[in-house]
A and B are shown apart, each in its own frame.
Chain A
Amino acid sequence: MNSFLLQINNLEVNFDTRAGTVQALRGVSLSIAPGETLAIVGESGSGKSVTAQAIMGLIDVPGRISGGDILWEGQPLTAAKVGARHILGKEVTMVFQNPMTSLNPLMTVGAQISEVIELHLGFSRQAARKRAVELLSLVGISGPERRLNQYPHELSGGMRQRVMIAMGIACEPKLLIADEPTTALDVTIQAQILELLAELRETIGLAIILITHDLGIVAGLCDRVAVMYAGQIVETGSVYDIFESPSHPYTQGLIRSTPQLDVKDERLVSISGTPPGLLDPPSGCAFLPRCPAGDGGCDKPQSLKAFGAGAVACCKAGIDAWKEAV
């Protein structure tokens, strides 16, 4: 059981809004082993970012964790926030989507990196700065000594994301959660950042949770994929299985709607409709209204069941749902 770094069981997160309670996560379970790279894929609003925030203890009013638990090496993370401090930020760290706003604009880059080193590793200020310089060159920033004294607004977006990553790996964490780390960046920079992540995974032996809506970047980097839809995981599996033989109609749709360079004459599908509102989610399969293969039998609760090498939450798992649509 303790072979997993992180285990999430049946996590539920609700948001209280004036319109009612929004069920953002509806029983999410997943786990990640040391050194593993897991991609969480889904549309915006599917709950992937909320999952990451729940792990990092960043769910704020109006949100709240209303059920389930998060275990770090077998110990609950949510139970005692104070006790979690030397896990969060040291062993589990996170890189956010928008590097423009994720850094404190009024602190030098150096101070922001040193801070975490001083806090978790008890380094002196001098030692922390030295380490920060190393980190900056490790993430590929040239002239690190000079950069230390600069403010975020003096750096480019890609540079800032590198700083975020440097901060993320400062204490040699076991798990790095990257929440859409490249979405806000130019395409060329995106590739560099992904490359950096891949490199770091090798050099440090880091486990990574990569959250993205872009299947394209998953294939090269990840070992395993979890697909989220409407606050639930609808399919998990190895990256190979997911791409080669997706079992859930939604996963199939996702892959079929992404252009792939190596397949000729492929017709792209588009998934019509929008995800269901989570104020009052359907009790049955949430994908039903958009699913080309759905029928009356789908109108019952779906849970993640082993299917092939992975797991799928669909009573029609495995059928080629989009055959008709193409």
Chain B
Amino acid sequence: MLQFILRRLFQGVLVVFGVSATVFVVTRLAGDPVSLMLPLSATEAQRIAFAQQIGLDQPIAAQFMRFLGDIVTLDFGNSLWQRRPAIDVVFERLPNTMLLIAAGLGSAVILSIPLGAIAALRPGGLVDRLTMSIGLLGLAMPQFWIGLIAILIFAVQLKWLPTSGMGTVAHIVLPALTLSLTPLARFTMMVRAAMIDELNKQYVKTARAKGLGLPRILRVHTLRNILVPFLSISGWELISTLSGYTVVVETVFAWPGLGLTAVQAIQRGDLFLMQAIVFVIAILIVIIGIVLDILSKAVDPRIELN
């Protein structure tokens, strides 16, 4: 176990190194960070000073080493926009994103399992077709679009929920709902398909031959068996949400998380903040991966951790 965690951590280091290399190439070789980050009114002297400050006058290899060193110490420099360490901004906004993801993905997980299971009980039946249709629709709707329509209906027309921002529990409902729809559809369809697969397995026949009722078979036998694929797909979804959907949803609902911050950082040419965000998310993805593997092992004793 310990060995496994160490090995995965080493892999994580590789990932972070890969991300570093990519970010380095993108920011240093493909563009000019100085003109991006300094206000255009900056004088030539300021530009040179700034280039020196971030080490642009050194050879590329030395720059990269320094870049890596900064990452190890989580020193991403000061956010140009907020004038304080970029990492502070990231840690300040990260919990908001986590909260949104927890609410959105959490409700998707909780709802998808019963929905998918019920649909799987009678494939082709009314519930199944209804679930599938809603699922396909959910997969097809872009989240920014759902968000706009949700605001229009629930906030503006019905005035049930606030349109944007963070604060009360009510504030989280619409963004979480918007965020949850695609994963909910994906999870439900996955649970359904896996459940149908599982219900056709021989051990289910054994269970039925034992006289177990379907509800008990679902609960005790198949649910646990689909948990491993479910864990991996929900982990995947968590990662894609963390590294994608949140940007859109946070922008639409002015939710002060990392996604919105990233968009604002880009608009303000705040490369340091953007780098910090990319790294922290990459590190989170690595951690999520490790946790998922350990969880899978806990669920399925056949899995060898290596």
Nearest Cβ on chain A to B123's Cβ, whole angstroms: 8
Do A106 and B210 have beta carbons less than 8 Å apart?
no
B47 at the interface (CB under 8 A from A): no
Do A101 and B208 have beta carbons less than 8 Å apart?
no
Total number of B residues with any Cβ neighbor in A under 8 Å: 23
Do B211 and A104 have beta carbons less than 8 Å apart?
no
Do A106 and B208 have beta carbons less than 8 Å apart?
no
Contact digits for A156-179, partner B, Cβ 8 Å, 1 yes 0 no: 000000001001000000000000
In the complex, which residues of chain A have a beta carbon less than 8 angstroms from the beta carbon of B210? 88-89, 93, 115-116, 119, 167
In the complex, which residues of chain A have a beta carbon less than 8 angstroms from the beta carbon of B211? 84-90, 116, 119-120
Q: How far is the CA of A103 from the CA of B301 in the complex (A)?
A: 14
In the complex, which residues of chain A have a beta carbon less than 8 angstroms from the beta carbon of B208? 56-58, 88
Option from A93, A106, A119, A151 in Cβ contact (under 8 Å) with B209: A93
Nearest Cβ on chain A to B125's Cβ, whole angstroms: 11
Option from B201, B206, B212 in Cβ contact (under 8 Å) with A164: B206
Option from A93, A103, A119 in Cβ contact (under 8 Å) with B212: A119
A311 at the interface (CB under 8 A from B): no
In the complex, which residues of chain A have a beta carbon less than 8 angstroms from the beta carbon of B123? 61
A98-148 residues at the B interface, CB under 8 angstroms? 98, 101-107, 115-116, 119-120
Do A153 and B220 have beta carbons less than 8 Å apart?
no
In the complex, which residues of chain A have a beta carbon less than 8 angstroms from the beta carbon of B302? 105-106, 151, 153
Do A105 and B220 have beta carbons less than 8 Å apart?
no
| Chain A: CB-nearest residue to B211 | A89
Q: How far is the CA of A89 from the CA of B224 in the complex (A)?
A: 22
B221 at the interface (CB under 8 A from A): yes
B203 at the interface (CB under 8 A from A): yes
Do B212 and A58 have beta carbons less than 8 Å apart?
no
| Chain B: CB-nearest residue to A90 | B211
B170 at the interface (CB under 8 A from A): no
Q: How far is the CA of A98 from the CA of B201 in the complex (A)?
A: 12
B43 at the interface (CB under 8 A from A): no
B205-236 residues at the A interface, CB under 8 angstroms? 205-213, 216, 220-221, 224-225
Nearest Cβ on chain A to B298's Cβ, whole angstroms: 11
Q: How far is the CA of A153 from the CA of B225 in the complex (A)?
A: 14
B299 at the interface (CB under 8 A from A): yes
Known contacts A104-B221, A106-B300, A106-B301: does B203 contact A85 (CB below 8 Å)? no
Q: How far is the CA of A98 from the CA of B202 in the complex (A)?
A: 8
Do A103 and B203 have beta carbons less than 8 Å apart?
yes
Q: How far is the CA of A101 from the CA of B216 in the complex (A)?
A: 19
In the complex, which residues of chain B have a beta carbon less than 8 angstroms from the beta carbon of A84? 211
Known contacts A151-B301, A153-B302: does B209 contact A104 (CB below 8 Å)? no
A96 at the interface (CB under 8 A from B): yes
Nearest Cβ on chain B to A74's Cβ, whole angstroms: 20
Nearest Cβ on chain A to B161's Cβ, whole angstroms: 41
Option from B200, B209, B216, B224 in Cβ contact (under 8 Å) with A88: B209
In the complex, which residues of chain B have a beta carbon less than 8 angstroms from the beta carbon of A53? 205
In the complex, which residues of chain B have a beta carbon less than 8 angstroms from the beta carbon of A103? 203, 206
Do B301 and A58 have beta carbons less than 8 Å apart?
no
Q: Which of A57, A89, A167 has the most CB of B within 10 A?
A: A89
Q: How far is the CA of A57 from the CA of B207 in the complex (A)?
A: 12
A94 at the interface (CB under 8 A from B): yes
Do B206 and A105 have beta carbons less than 8 Å apart?
no
Q: How far is the CA of A240 from the CA of B209 in the complex (A)?
A: 31
| Chain A: CB-nearest residue to B202 | A101
Do B212 and A101 have beta carbons less than 8 Å apart?
no
Q: How far is the CA of A88 from the CA of B209 in the complex (A)?
A: 6
Contact digits for A40-57, partner B, Cβ 8 Å, 1 yes 0 no: 000000000000010011
Do B209 and A56 have beta carbons less than 8 Å apart?
yes
In the complex, which residues of chain A have a beta carbon less than 8 angstroms from the beta carbon of B221? 104, 107
Q: How far is the CA of A185 from the CA of B191 in the complex (A)?
A: 34
Nearest Cβ on chain B to A279's Cβ, whole angstroms: 22
10 residue pairs A–B, Cβ–Cβ below 8 Å: A85-B213, A86-B211, A88-B209, A96-B202, A96-B209, A104-B203, A106-B299, A106-B302, A116-B211, A164-B206
